[in-house]
Every structure is written in structure tokens, then in C-alpha cells.
């Protein structure tokens, strides 16, 4: 059985490289290309770059898969990893080292390819350091090298579930820099291309890497295989959907004209991937219908040694074939990324290359409402948060438990406010107008969070999630409890920390060069909006959150915190209104907006929006706080009353008992003794 696992891994590597070479020759990525004015870096780079990229992608995917196996798929006992899981961590350390080496080689070959210099000249040359230091793609690849090397080191000694989970998070983060800085930013729809590719990579890694880890586990140790396979299958379905959605988003952002799918090399490679993706879906279906039920039936806790009930041949065979197909798809994908997409926007103007779409017409209320610009990241965020919440409420309902409709409404309206400022005309105008950007900032940091925290998502999760099937193991519910009691959350959730992050970061972003830097890249703009939403949610969770907080503040202190904090937002608005020069001047002036007020006047408008907007949340928070305070008081009064009753009830009993005794004395004949019974 073990040989089966090793053979599957080796054949998968060959299938991947083979598919990459075939796709590279078909699509042109591996054919010699003479670009006027650019010297050719040579054969070594032409082949070395896609090969090293394949090693980097496969290394990253596998590291995520093996860490997922150790930290999530295999059951643990009270936070201590299963011995097999520890062995997988050690394995992940080696795979991460391969990942780091693949990323380092990709870095060298990329510089060689861009400069048209042989790779040998690049190693040790100044070109490499300047590429890493000045070019986002270079910095991104360097990040991957460093993070993968860090995982390789730490996975050598990690033994706890917490550390395995931490390494998994680092690995998922390390997947992001290349897609977020890759050539997607040169495609017709930058934002969609960048968010789409990042989502693509993050969704496919646990799915592809997790399956290979599962096949390895089934052919090596196999304990708890049923549990691990069940968990994997639930996750794999969502990954499959996410890979498909992001894959289509990738295509739409690069091939706006569908005919390019069959008229260009790039398009044809995409069709190959689509076909492979559909076949992979069929494999998934067969697993769900056949191999997994059989596995669960025969190996509820996996086959324990030595009494092996039944080796999972059916599962290993089907999953083994599936892994080969996935490796081949990975190979085609790497060749696709090395194939130049058809040039469709030759007349792209400076503004389009800056904001990803042409300068919008003069702003009007109607255009704010109608010029929608869907953002993949926020669309997925809203759908996931909405879907999970609805599933939680449905589960409580199904159990006959009530859930206050006010909370569901608050959550729903909160999500709608996110859609309103990240996908409507506000998103279209926010890159070109500071004032519209300020509306986005204010809603995401001061309105959406208030509504979301009143939705009590953590309380819902704790009530809806089932405890882990195996005693002492950590399922989603247990993980949530661990995170809620973690030292990190105690620190971040401390009212002082939350307030400093909420207020301080606003000043840090706008009154330093950071704002200008973040506006220049879609990823920077996205990070800014996510930060506003997260820091606002943290602050209002502490202030009016229904969910349990690490440190519960008395209401007077909360009031005080509100009145101390809100003036800072007013100051921020007033400061903006009084600034004599524009923030991020480089960005706004180079847009040459042909309509509307001047950049500085627009900034002053933004300042007045910030100043005025502060009142709304203060008002909502005050009402919420007073209502919570009143409800708490009521609850306390009822509790005290119950206690008083209970105490009163007890005295009554004693009183009744004593009276009964006195009554019994009355009934006895005169000769019996007169002293009362002893306790």
C-alpha cells in the first residue's frame, strides 16, 4: 500500500511537468520568441522559468495540503497532535524547503527573463537585489522564499495543534504575493484579474494539496481515515466552487471577447483547463456517491492497526487518478500563465492603467446609484458571511431554538451597507474622488461594523455549531472557543487596544505617505477598505457587541469611551477641511480629472463628510447602549428577584415546617415531654 502512495506522488509530478511542457509547446510559452528590442535570455531561462514556477506552485499547494492534514483533517486530543500529524509536520518542513527553492529559482529566472540576460549573469548580480527591492513582483517572490523557509524551519519542531494551525495560516498567506502582484495588473480588468487569481490559488491549494495528503495517509498510516476523508470532502466542495468561480473571473478579466477562447492559444489552453475542471468535478461526485460512503462504513475511525477492517483500495484508486489529473491541470495552468493573453486593450489610456477602467463621467447621484462595479473580493465576502449566518439561523430554527429577528436584520443590513459602498457607483468614483473614497471609509468603519456586531455572529456560531464528533478533538466550534479565549484576542480585544487601532490607524493612513502608496495599487486599496471594516468591527464589538468579549466594560465606561473617541473623528474631519495641500497629490493630480471641483476642494468635501458622518454612529451606538443597559438591568432585577424569592421560598418552607411542628404539639396528649425536636 505504501508503494502505491509513493508511486502516485512520483507519477503526479511527471504528469504535471509533462502537461506543462505539452501546454507550453502548444501555447507558445516554451517556443523561442523574438521580441524586437529585447534580447532572449536563452533556453535555460525559457525552460527554467515555467519549471521552477511549477515547483513553486506545487510546493506551495502541497505544503498547504500536508499542514491541513496535520492541523485540521486528522483529529487531535485536547490540543495535542496525533503522532501521525507530527510526522506530517516534519514532512511539510521538507516540502516547504522545496517550495522556497522553487520560489528562489523563479525569482532568478524571472529577472533573467525580464532583462533578457542569461540566468547565470543574474545570480549574485545587482539586478536581482534591485528587482527584489523595487519591483512588486520581485518583492512578492522574495516574500514567498522567506515565508516558505520560515515554515520549513518551524515545522521541524512544532508539536502542538496551535502551532500546526499557525503554520497553515502562514502557508496560505505565502501563496498570495505572486497572484496579487503578477501580470494580472496588465489585464483589461485589473481588479477582477488580481482578486480572481488570488482567490483561485487560495481555493485550489487545500483542495489539491489536501487530496494528495489524504492519498498519502490512506496508503501509509490510515488511522482516522474516515474522519479525515469526511472533513476533506466537506471542504473540497466549497474549494471546487471557489476555483470554478475564480477561474471564470480570471477568464472574463483577460478575455472580454468569448471568441478569443477558441481563436487564441491562450483561450484554447483555458478551454483545456475548463475540461479538466469538469472531469475533476465528476471525480468529486463519484467520491461522494461511492468511495467516501464505503470508507466511512468500513473505516469510521479509519482502520486501526493491527485489526485492519478493509484497506481503502477503491478510494485510493479513484483519488490517485484524480491527483494525476490535478497535477496535469497545474501544469497546464503554469504554461497558461507563461502564455501572453491576447492584447485586447492596445489604446489603454493612462487613467485606465491606473484605476483599471476609463475615467467615469461627471459624478451625479444617479450615476452613484447606477454605475455598479462588482468587486470579487467583497462579493465573495458578503455571500459567505450571509450564507453562513443564514445556515446558522436555519439550524437553530430546525432545532426549535429561537433567534431574535432583530439580530438577523442587523446582520443583513450590515452586509447591504458593504455592498452599497464597494460595488455601486461609490466604488466607481472612489479611486478618482477623495470625497467618495471618504464615504466608503466612513460607512465601512463606522456604520457596517455597528450593524454587524449587533447581529451577534459569534453567539450564533457557538449555538449553531455542533461539538466535534470525537471527544477532545477540535472542530470548528472548539476552534472558535479557543480563539475567543486566546491571549492574542484578549490583547486585541482590550478596549484600549481596540480604540488605538480604530482611531490611530485613521491618522496613520491619511497623514503619512501610506495613503498615496495604498491608492496606487488595487491590492493596497482593497487592504485599506478591509482594514477599515476590521478595525471598526473590533471597536464596536468592544463597545456594543452582543457577543462575549474578553473584557466586559461597565456601561459608564463604555459611554466614556464613546465620548472620548468620537471627537477624534471630528478632529480628523476638521483637519482634512483645513489642510492646505492635497493628500496623495501624486495620485489625484496624475488622474487629471476633467470635471468637478479641484483636488483640494474635493478633499475638503471629504473632510466635511468625515466630520458630519461621525454623528450618525454616535447616535446609533448611544441608543443601542441605552437599550442594552436597560435590558441588562431588567435581567439583573429579574435575577435578584428570583434569588429573593428563592431565599423567601426557603424561609417559607422552614416557617411551614415549624408551624406544622407546633400544630403537632397541639394534637399530642398532655403526658408527652414539651421540649421542641433537635436539628
Residues that bind ligand HEM (CB under 6 A): 53, 57, 182, 197, 200, 204, 208, 243-244, 247-248, 250-251, 254, 270, 273-274, 277, 280, 326, 329-330, 333-334, 336-337, 341
Considering the complex, state which of residue 53 and residue 298 has its C-beta at the smaller distance from ligand HEM.
Answer: 53
Per the DSSP assignment, residues forming a β-bridge with 80 are 77, 160
Quickly tell me which residue has 470625497 as its cell: 435
The Cα–Cα gap between 113 and 193 comes to 22
Q: What is the DSSP letter of 466?
A: P
The Cα–Cα gap between 641 and 47 comes to 80
* Minimum CB–partner distance for residue 274 and ligand HEM (Å): 5
Considering the complex, state which of residue 236 and residue 460 has its C-beta at the smaller distance from ligand HEM.
Answer: 236
SS (H, E, C) 355-391: HCCCCCCCCCHHHHHHCCCCCHHHHHHHHHHHHHHHH
For residue 225, give the nearest of 308, 317, 296, 319 by alpha carbon. Answer: 296
The Cα–Cα gap between 443 and 450 comes to 10
* Minimum CB–partner distance for residue 182 and ligand HEM (Å): 6
Considering the complex, state which of residue 181 and residue 299 has its C-beta at the smaller distance from ligand HEM.
Answer: 181
Considering the complex, state which of residue 33 and residue 129 has its C-beta at the smaller distance from ligand HEM.
Answer: 33
Per the DSSP assignment, residues forming a β-bridge with 38 are 35
For residue 226, give the nearest of 297, 176, 310 by alpha carbon. Answer: 297
* Minimum CB–partner distance for residue 294 and ligand HEM (Å): 25
Considering the complex, state which of residue 318 and residue 576 has its C-beta at the smaller distance from ligand HEM.
Answer: 318
64: its cell numbers: 498547504
Considering the complex, state which of residue 341 and residue 614 has its C-beta at the smaller distance from ligand HEM.
Answer: 341
> At a CB cut-off of 8 Å and minimum separation 6, what does 485 contact?
550
Considering the complex, state which of residue 336 and residue 446 has its C-beta at the smaller distance from ligand HEM.
Answer: 336
217: its cell numbers: 495517509
Considering the complex, state which of residue 142 and residue 501 has its C-beta at the smaller distance from ligand HEM.
Answer: 142
The Cα–Cα gap between 320 and 7 comes to 9
The Cα–Cα gap between 653 and 644 comes to 14
* Minimum CB–partner distance for residue 388 and ligand HEM (Å): 24
Considering the complex, state which of residue 247 and residue 493 has its C-beta at the smaller distance from ligand HEM.
Answer: 247
Q: Residue 288: count other Cβ atoms within 10 Å of its Cβ.
A: 13
* Minimum CB–partner distance for residue 69 and ligand HEM (Å): 18
619: its cell numbers: 447616535
* Minimum CB–partner distance for residue 330 and ligand HEM (Å): 5
- Residue 653: helix, strand or coil by DSSP? helix
Considering the complex, state which of residue 274 and residue 381 has its C-beta at the smaller distance from ligand HEM.
Answer: 274
12: its cell numbers: 503526479
* Minimum CB–partner distance for residue 530 and ligand HEM (Å): 23
Distance between terminal CA atoms of the chain?
Answer: 74
* Minimum CB–partner distance for residue 17 and ligand HEM (Å): 14
* Minimum CB–partner distance for residue 289 and ligand HEM (Å): 20
* Minimum CB–partner distance for residue 247 and ligand HEM (Å): 3
Considering the complex, state which of residue 240 and residue 517 has its C-beta at the smaller distance from ligand HEM.
Answer: 240
Considering the complex, state which of residue 277 and residue 539 has its C-beta at the smaller distance from ligand HEM.
Answer: 277
CB 24 within 8 A of CB 46: no
Tell me the residue nearest to ligand HEM as measured from the CB: 247
Task: Give the CA angle between residues 166, 169, 174 to the nearest 5°.
Answer: 125
CB 198 within 8 A of CB 243: no
- Residue 35: helix, strand or coil by DSSP? strand
Quickly tell me which residue has 504554461 as its cell: 335
* Minimum CB–partner distance for residue 110 and ligand HEM (Å): 11
* Minimum CB–partner distance for residue 30 and ligand HEM (Å): 14
CB 155 within 8 A of CB 86: no
For residue 564, give the nearest of 588, 539, 537, 594 by alpha carbon. Answer: 539
Considering the complex, state which of residue 334 and residue 444 has its C-beta at the smaller distance from ligand HEM.
Answer: 334
> At a CB cut-off of 8 Å and minimum separation 6, what does 88 contact?
66, 67, 69, 70, 74, 213, 217
* Minimum CB–partner distance for residue 358 and ligand HEM (Å): 23
> At a CB cut-off of 8 Å and minimum separation 6, what does 533 contact?
418, 444, 445, 448, 449
Amino acid at each position: 500500500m505504501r508503494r502505491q502512495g509513493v508511486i502516485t506522488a512520483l507519477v503526479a509530478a511527471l504528469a504535471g511537468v509533462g502537461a506543462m511542457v505539452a501546454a507550453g509547446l502548444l501555447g507558445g510559452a516554451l517556443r523561442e520568441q523574438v521580441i524586437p528590442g529585447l534580447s532572449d535570455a536563452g533556453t535555460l531561462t525559457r525552460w527554467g522559468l515555467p519549471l521552477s514556477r511549477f515547483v513553486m506552485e506545487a510546493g506551495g499547494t502541497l505544503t498547504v495540503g500536508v499542514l491541513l492534514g496535520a492541523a485540521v483533517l486528522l483529529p487531535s486530543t485536547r490540543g495535542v497532535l496525533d503522532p501521525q500529524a507530527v510526522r506530517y509536520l516534519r514532512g511539510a518542513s521538507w516540502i516547504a524547503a522545496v517550495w522556497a527553492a522553487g520560489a528562489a529559482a523563479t525569482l532568478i529566472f524571472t529577472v533573467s527573463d525580464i532583462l533578457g540576460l542569461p540566468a547565470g549573469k543574474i545570480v549574485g548580480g545587482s539586478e536581482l537585489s534591485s528587482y527584489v527591492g523595487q519591483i512588486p513582483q520581485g518583492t512578492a517572490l522574495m516574500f514567498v522564499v522567506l515565508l516558505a523557509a520560515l515554515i520549513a524551519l518551524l515545522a521541524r519542531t512544532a508539536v502542538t495543534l496551535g502551532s500546526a494551525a499557525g503554520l497553515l495560516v502562514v502557508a496560505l498567506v505565502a501563496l498570495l504575493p505572486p497572484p496579487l502582484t503578477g501580470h494580472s495588473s496588465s489585464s483589461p480588468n485589473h481588479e477582477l484579474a488580481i482578486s480572481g487569481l488570488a482567490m483561485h490559488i487560495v481555493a485550489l491549494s487545500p483542495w489539491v494539496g489536501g487530496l494528495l495528503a489524504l492519498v498519502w495517509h490512506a496508503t501509509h498510516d490510515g488511522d482516522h481515515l474516515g474522519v479525515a476523508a469526511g472533513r476533506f470532502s466537506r471542504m473540497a466542495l466549497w474549494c471546487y466552487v471557489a476555483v470554478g468561480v475564480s477561474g471564470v473571473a480570471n477568464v472574463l478579466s483577460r478575455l472580454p471577447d468569448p471568441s478569443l477562447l477558441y481563436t487564441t492559444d491562450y483561450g484554447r489552453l483555458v478551454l483545456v483547463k475548463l475540461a479538466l475542471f469538469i472531469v475533476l468535478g465528476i471525480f468529486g461526485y463519484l467520491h461522494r456517491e461511492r468511495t467516501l460512503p464505503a470508507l466511512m462504513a468500513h473505516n469510521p475511525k479509519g482502520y486501526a492497526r493491527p485489526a485492519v477492517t478493509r484497506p481503502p483500495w477503491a478510494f485510493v484508486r479513484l483519488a490517485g487518478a484524480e491527483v494525476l489529473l490535478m497535477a496535469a491541470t497545474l501544469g497546464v495552468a503554469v504554461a497558461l500563465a507563461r502564455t501572453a493573453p491576447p492584447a485586447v486593450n492596445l489604446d489603454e489610456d493612462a487613467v485606465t492603467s491606473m484605476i483599471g477602467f476609463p475615467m467615469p463621467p461627471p459624478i451625479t447621484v444617479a450615476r452613484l446609484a447606477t454605475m455598479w462595479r462588482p468587486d470579487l473580493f467583497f462579493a465573495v465576502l458578503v455571500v459567505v458571511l450571509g450564507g453562513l449566518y443564514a445556515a446558522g439561523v436555519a439550524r437553530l430554527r430546525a432545532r426549535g431554538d429561537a433567534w431574535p429577528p432583530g439580530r438577523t436584520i442587523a446582520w443583513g443590513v450590515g452586509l447591504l451597507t458593504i455592498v452599497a459602498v464597494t460595488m455601486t457607483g461609490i466604488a466607481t468614483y472612489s479611486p478618482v474622488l477623495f470625497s467618495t473614497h471618504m464615504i466608503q471609509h466612513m460607512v465601512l468603519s463606522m456604520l457596517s461594523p455597528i450593524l454587524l456586531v449587533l447581529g451577534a455572529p459569534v453567539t450564533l456560531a457557538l449555538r449553531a455549531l455542533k461539538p466535534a464528533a470525537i471527544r477532545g478533538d477540535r472542530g470548528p466550534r472548539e476552534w472558535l472557543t479557543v480563539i475567543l479565549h486566546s491571549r492574542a484576542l484578549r490583547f486585541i480585544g482590550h478596549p484600549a487596544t481596540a480604540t488605538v487601532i480604530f482611531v490611530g490607524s485613521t491618522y496613520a493612513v491619511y497623514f503619512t505617505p501610506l495613503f498615496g502608496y495604498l491608492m496606487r495599487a488595487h491590492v493596497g486599496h482593497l487592504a485599506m477598505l478591509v482594514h477599515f471594516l476590521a478595525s471598526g468591527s473590533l471597536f464596536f464589538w468592544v463597545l456594543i457587541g452582543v457577543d462575549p468579549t474578553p473584557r466586559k466594560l461597565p456601561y459608564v465606561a463604555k459611554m466614556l469611551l464613546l465620548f472620548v473617541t468620537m471627537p477624534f473623528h471630528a478632529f480628523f474631519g476638521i483637519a482634512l477641511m483645513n489642510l492646505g495641500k492635497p493628500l496623495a497629490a501624486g495620485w489625484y493630480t496624475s488622474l487629471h480629472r476633467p470635471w468637478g471641483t479641484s483636488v483640494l476642494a474635493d478633499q475638503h468635501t471629504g473632510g466635511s463628510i468625515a466630520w458630519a458622518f461621525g454623528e450618525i454612529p454616535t447616535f446609533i451606538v448611544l441608543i443601542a447602549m441605552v437599550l442594552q443597559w436597560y435590558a441588562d438591568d431588567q435581567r439583573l432585577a429579574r435575577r435578584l428577584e428570583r434569588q429573593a424569592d428563592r431565599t423567601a421560598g426557603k424561609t417559607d418552607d422552614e416557617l411551614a415546617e415549624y408551624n406544622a411542628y407546633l400544630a403537632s404539639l397541639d394534637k399530642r396528649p398532655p403526658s408527652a415531654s414539651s421540649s421542641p425536636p433537635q436539628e
